[in-house]
Amino acid sequence: MKIALIGYGKMGKAIEEVAISRGHEITHRISSSNPIHTIDLSDSDVAIEFTKPDLAIEHIHHCINKEIPIIVGTTAWQEKLAEVCEFVNSNNGALLHASNFSIGVNIFFELNKTLARLMSNHPEYKIEAEEIHHVQKLDAPSGTAVSLLNDILNENINYSDWQLVSDFNEANTNKIPVIAKREPDVPGTHEIIYSSEIDTITIKHVAHNRKGFALGAVLAAEFLYGKCGVFTMSDVLKI
């Protein structure tokens, strides 16, 4: 498969390494110095996009208009998701988006939803969330953390929203407090905590490097090739 990389930072380079190891070819390495509107994508089977929130929708539109399926790992643009899905579907395009492409994280998502559902009948447990990413991470909380928090809200009736805080004690009683830390060379850590006077239940995912995200993105590209519609990693992993 011939893959165009939209964004050639650390993630783009990690995806390139995994893609080549799986027998794929990288056709283009698109960046700020090599922008997408200067590239002829007709030689590409699929595009994988990891850039910035203010660029993601433009890249999606460009690829769909050029009939190139696109995998999007950029986060913090999803408030426009309904509009984007309508555009993709009305143009018979193909989009696969995810807040996190790691297989482990997507399994973690399912564990999080199950635990939230089980704990909904136990309001004595206070929910807290913490995430840690590298200092280059622009959005806080991360897209992965937002997905985890929203999944909890869908399953647990005791909270109405989540709230970004610097200390857990700052949060309103009906909002889940989330702390977002930025530290050097941290690929990603996410922890969900349920605490009561009696005990504490914690689930946690720690990424050791970017290989898991890169592999998931390439698996998503292999899945999306030849399809039309809008998909997520749940479709890829059959969760």
Rounded-to-integer distance, Cα 7 and Cα 157, Å: 39
Is residue 133 part of the annotated active site? The answer reads yes
**For residue 56, what are the CA distances in angstroms to 78, 84, 152, 169, 179?**
10, 10, 26, 35, 26
What percent of the chain is helix, strand and coil (3-state, nearest 5)?
Answer: 40, 25, 35
Question: What single string gives the DSSP state of each residue in 51-71?
Answer: S-HHHHHHHHHHHHHTT--EE
Q: Known catalytic residue: 59?
A: no
Active-site residue, selected from the candidate residues 97, 126, 137, 190: 137
Q: How many angstroms separate the Cα of 55 from the Cα of each of 62, 84, 93, 165, 220?
A: 11, 13, 19, 28, 20
d(CA 41, CA 180): 37
List, edge to edge, every strand of the sheet that includes 189-195: 161-164, 175-182, 126-133, 189-195, 200-206
Cβ-Cβ contacts under 8 Å for 50 (sequence gap 6 or more): 6, 7, 9, 11, 12, 15, 73, 74, 217
Torsions phi, psi for 128 (to 5 deg)? -140, 155
Exactly one of 59, 133, 175, 205 is catalytic; name it: 133
Active site positions, annotated: 133, 137
